[in-house]
Amino acid sequence: MERLTGIGVSPGVVLGRAVVLTQRTEVMRFPIPPDRVEQEVAALLRAQAASKQQLQDIKARVEHGPGSELAALFDAQLLMLDDPMLVGRAEAIVRGERVNAAWAVHRAYEELYHVFMAMEDPYLRERETDVADVAGRLRLNLRHGAKGPKELLSQIDGPSVLIADELTASIAAQLDWSRVQAFATDAGSRTYHTAILARSLKVPAIVGLHDASLRIAAGTPVVLDGTTGELIVAPTAEQIDEAHRRATRPRRRGMREAETGPVLTTDGVRIRLEANIELLEDLPFLNEHGAEGVGLYRSEFMLSGRPIESVTENDQYALYRSLIEQVAPRPVTIRTFDLDERHFAGPGRAPERRRTRPGLRGLRLGLANPAVLRTQLRALVRASAHGPLRIMFPFVTAVEEVRQARAMLDDVVSGFSRTEGVRIDPAQIKVGAMIEVPSAALAADLLAPEVDFFTIGTNDLIAYCLAVDRTDDRVSDLYEPLHPAVLRLIRMVRRAATRHHIPVSLCGEMASDPALVGLLVGLGLTEFSMTPGAIPIVRHVIEELSAAEARRLAGHALRLATAAEIEQYLFDALAASAIQRSPLS
């Protein structure tokens, strides 16, 4: 038995088994029942087979291109894939500890990482990056078909207590709280956005436990007291009896059925809510949660680790057409491939353990590989005949990039008329730019005449504005959506769009954070795209919100000097009045 003490932020006593979410490593750890062990092992072996095929494809491609003598380097990764210290060890962890396969792969990789780091030979030590790449590929293939925390948590049995290093409000808003009865996080304070949401949902919660996600094993019984801030790990029989006696079993209202019809603030401002999706399998969630369209389809997810050249124009056309037809008459916004150089892998570009993403990425990479971009544009133009389509270019940094991309698109459209006798009206295809780096935000007034719409991608915009890599735990706490510079950039983009009479939407995690959406409405934004599961609660928040009051609050927030001051101000004024009065409270 062990007692951990943090900050109780939402009252109530709950007894359950721990489910551990470690977002910094993008891996979730949860216990599995005995009868699911073979299923999890089978998934691991399928991921191994898929990874092997992908590596063999990459090796074959390299063998027939420049630097063919280096194709043998991928033999090392294939050997690692068969090494019993990786997949074999992961299988042993699944069987011995009865945890999910993705976590077992992560554990096996961490063990190998320490082995490599102990080597004196620098050359051998650097081979750890190959192990990291292979482990990452295995996890990617394990994720295929079961994506985020919401889907993974739906697989757990019985009442559970979520133990997380951090838990964003956007993820918390999507969870099934009939399965997850309480949560505790390493980070956070009473004004933590997720703490506000926990009180609104009446979910017992503790924050500020520092390293609980590392100390508590998945499946361990815990007693969480959200009033005292005490978490008892592996409680005694007497403590379990006491927890049963004290358990408040708060009665929470379930999420309401998906509402349809326009979303309006209390003073009649129309707000549009669309969905971000990655796979066609996500489409049923649009209707389930009342999305008004697809605001962001991440086309790069169709690759699923395959070489980009292996996805033909016809493959892409079939997928885009299916997507558009299933969503029609609602619009679909498809983002062209947002890839970086890892997806054009060559021996000279071997990935590092802690990657950084600037460089050739998104539209830059497409323009540097025009055959790839042209193939995708041809597929998109063909699919546009089947319903309303918007094409969005990612990672735009300058006007010249948009002009080059539009010129290629115009050439593709005219090419259909010249060579295939198919007349396509260019005006029916709207073209937009993602605003996700400061240069694009600062030049938004120059970009606006070149496109038909803007979409603000806040995840990257915040990271590049504040020079913070969220995967680097040395600086991840500096990732702050409420930083004054971030809010000013968002307002700047919205104003440029308004002056040039083009729509602007916002699609990052900020859009699905119920504690922030009021501020965004106050900044003048009226279109949001988010993970489908977040739509109902964001809708509730907006329908309790006065846009005029939100503008007043935003105006004051923009005069404050620090993110902490803005957060405290919103907590006192906006969150307390809007969220806590929501129909869920």
Distance of CA 111 to CAs 84, 91, 114, 128, 467, Å?
Answer: 13, 14, 5, 11, 31
Taking each continuous run of H as one helix and of E as one strand, the counts in the chain are 25, 18
State residue 342's pLDDT score: 64
State residue 253's pLDDT score: 42
Q: Among candidates 542, 540, 571, which has minimal Cα distance to 557?
A: 571
Report how far residue 337's alpha carbon sits from residue 335's, in angstroms, rounded to the nearest whole number: 6
Q: Among candidates 228, 193, 210, 172, which has minimal Cα distance to 14?
A: 228
Q: Residue 193: is its pLDDT beyond 80?
A: no
Q: Residue 251: is its pLDDT beyond 50?
A: no
How much is the average pLDDT of 219-243? Answer: 89
Q: Residue 129: is its pLDDT beyond 80?
A: no
Report how far residue 423's alpha carbon sits from residue 217's, in angstroms, rounded to the nearest whole number: 61
Q: Residue 191: is its pLDDT beyond 80?
A: no
Instruction: Decide which of 429 and 350 is more confident.
Output: 429
Residue 236 neighbours by CB under 8 Å, 6+ apart: 1
**Low-confidence winner among 65-79, 233-247, 400-414, 518-532 (lowest mean pLDDT):** 65-79
Residue 294 is classified by DSSP as E
Q: Residue 344: is its pLDDT beyond 70?
A: no
> Do residues 97 and 105 touch, judged by C-beta distance below 8 A?
no
How much is the average pLDDT of 89-96? Answer: 92
pLDDT in tens, 35-47: 889 989 999 999 8
What's phi and psi for 250, nearest 5 deg? -60, 140
How many CB atoms within 10 Å of residue 509? 20
State residue 346's pLDDT score: 42
Q: Residue 440: is its pLDDT beyond 50?
A: yes
State residue 337's pLDDT score: 93
Report how far residue 385's alpha carbon sits from residue 364's, in angstroms, rounded to the nearest whole number: 27
**Low-confidence winner among 90-99, 220-229, 328-337, 354-363 (lowest mean pLDDT):** 354-363
How much is the average pLDDT of 179-203? Answer: 75
Instruction: Decide which of 9 and 185 is more confident.
Output: 185
Residue 341 is classified by DSSP as G
Report which secondary-structure segment, H or E, holds 578: helix 576-578
How much is the average pLDDT of 2-9? Answer: 88
Residue 223 is classified by DSSP as E
- Best-predicted range by mean pLDDT among 186-195, 290-299, 425-434, 504-513? 290-299
Residue 527 forms beta bridges with which residues? 272
Report how far residue 204's alpha carbon sits from residue 161's, in angstroms, rounded to the nearest whole number: 10
Catalytic residues: 193, 507
Instruction: Name the token pair of 57.
Output: 């494809």
Q: What is the mean pLDDT of the chain?
A: 83
How much is the average pLDDT of 393-418? Answer: 93
Position 60 confidence tier, pLDDT thresholds 50, 70, 90: confident
State residue 350's pLDDT score: 45
pTM exceeds 0.85 for this model: no
Instruction: Decide which of 576 and 278 is more confident.
Output: 278
Q: Residue 255: is its pLDDT beyond 60?
A: no
Q: Among candidates 152, 207, 157, which has minimal Cα distance to 175?
A: 152
Report how far residue 311's alpha carbon sits from residue 302's, in angstroms, rounded to the nearest whole number: 9
Determine how β-strand 527-530 pairs with β-strand 230-233: unpaired
Residue 481 neighbours by CB under 8 Å, 6+ apart: 458, 462, 509, 510, 513, 516
> Do residues 563 and 482 touch, judged by C-beta distance below 8 A?
yes
State residue 471's pLDDT score: 57
Position 68 confidence tier, pLDDT thresholds 50, 70, 90: low
- Best-predicted range by mean pLDDT among 276-285, 340-349, 481-490? 481-490
Nearest 5 degrees, angle CA 312-CA 318-CA 323?
Answer: 130
Position 254 confidence tier, pLDDT thresholds 50, 70, 90: very low
pLDDT in tens, 507-558: 977 888 877 888 999 999 999 998 887 888 889 889 988 999 999 999 999 9
State residue 118's pLDDT score: 82
State residue 59's pLDDT score: 73
SS3 483: coil
